Structure 1
């Protein structure tokens, strides 16, 4: 006779809660180094697990970055190089035959769900349930307001739901956890915040910031619209706090259900964000926040735009809480990219990647378990922008250097020595040091 104590049996198949935000700057968590942010619940994940201090995405906008997450390939490999515009690109999305990591969880006995933002195609053939999710509620498109959103519900109907969007997505996640607490599950909670628009949020999320005069980066930047940057910063801080409050709800339920020790909790984002750094706002498709824009320099790039592969756009705040495997307070600086999630998540559940599935990422559990004999610290970057400007940027980021070349705008290239210039303020592309290194 086989006796089975539930927590022991489940230990072979840990639950995974994957918390994924939208437009979160690399330091937009208190525990990641920016004390402007009030994030006590997210901080717990950072403090109780591993903070991945060199976590990157290969493309600094929504849809191609999400391709890297779900399929561990570059978006350019399937023609998704910029965010998918649901109005003008209605047929674009994930190919039906593309292997996705949730399918492998599903095939190995996991209950799977995604609540929140998808942004990988709006047609039924692109639906999350076609790629391994048992349940989906949220938005197939890229956008919805922060309050009273129109979303797709579990039964497939689309309707306007009263309430705050972060809370609504989290409500679905909590119901799923409560219903599946005795089964192994993989939960993707994809917040749309802190993507614009940031307000309204619940009063308690806005209260600490409504009268704040926030510190901002580079206030002396030429022609910077300081008041606009401060206004947006206040609103952005509140949006992040709304995420944090809901992360706290998730962590509390895991504890109440008695599955906290058998649940891996991950926090990360689809790409970084600029909060006034370099005189811009947004991500890799940044828009200048200046009172006067510079003259047009490149024929394919309007003067108000500043496409980029800066660290503020390609780095993301990332932490993994893995009870019994990762010691609290761990800080890991070996490079990680969004392409690595596919094999890493599967390895956490001891699920093998099939030999016929082609992926570009690496299993980072070998680093987390200190079994990686050799780990290359570099990430290949790309962004072929076609909304608002035209670029064909390719780049390489190592621990010390970053090089970017834009094939759509001949002569536009950048080189930064990140050791002496971590904020990427001095382009060395035409300097003597660059010529010596490439000779």
Structure 2
């Protein structure tokens, strides 16, 4: 059992000094110095590497941020172009719808004009047929008159017909005048219809040309919009990948920074430990001198403590006072008191009268009682179920608690300096 850990916890709670043997102190001093020097060497060699890695990571992150800003700028340009192309496509679609309506309307008008033209052509043809019928009928009548009345003996046939044709024409003029006037009117209407039809066809041609132009613009804008959308997606993919790289590098940078902080904190802690070690070394040196003086005085007088005191518990000593060397690891450990083995629950008694200065629990020691004997001596009882309270006065042999387990750790100190309890306790009550 290592008692140095117990003693440190106990006397830290009591705000007392700490005194270790010379050999152990030298060993610990050399060990701490070596560890401190090694840590300084490791930190100085790794600090430069950490700083260069940190600078390299920061430069990479800065470059990635610049690239991301550039990509975002070009993405915004592509986004504006895409919106402009999309709006143009909407406008062209609206214009094409309007043109298609106009085209449908004009095609209906053209179809109507074509129907009216066909109707006029039919009327003109009918009128022409009637006029030709009248002419043929008159010609037949002249021939019949020529032969019936034997006119050939007076007029040659050719001269007769020329003469009669004029007569017939004059005769028929009044008869077919209405036909001819109607024919002229129909021809004028036909001419107007043909002009309207030509105008309508010209308008339809222009509408189709404009429609084709819009369709070509629509196709071009659709291609440009598709290209802008592709660029947008490419920039988004690039930005996402760059952000992932940046996040990864930021994590690495944070780890480097944390490592640097940890090393600096470790170096600061080591420096603080070194300062504490030097301070403690001075305190130990002073305590050594005080111990020598106190030991010399304690041999001469025990004040109200006397040799042959009854131990706090009867049992077997399993660990004695002083410094011991581990034969396997060659490490020295110290026991500032003695350890007595007894039955669990055995009453624990005060070795002399005094005042209870401390009652509580400490790591590795369990329940602890410290009695101030009011003469510079203190007795310490560990692994105890406490039966007294702080500030209480106790007498010699009074039960102050019961053993919690089977080992009682007992110390006797002059001030902060541990002394061997066996110099004061009657050994006939103890075995071992």
* TM-score bin, normalised by smaller chain: under 0.3
- Higher RCO (Cα < 8 Å, 6 or more apart): 1
Taking structure 2 as the reference length, the TM-score comes to 0.16
Q: Could you say which structure has the higher strand fraction?
A: 1
Larger of the two Rg values belongs to structure: 2
Q: Could you say which structure has the higher helix fraction?
A: 2
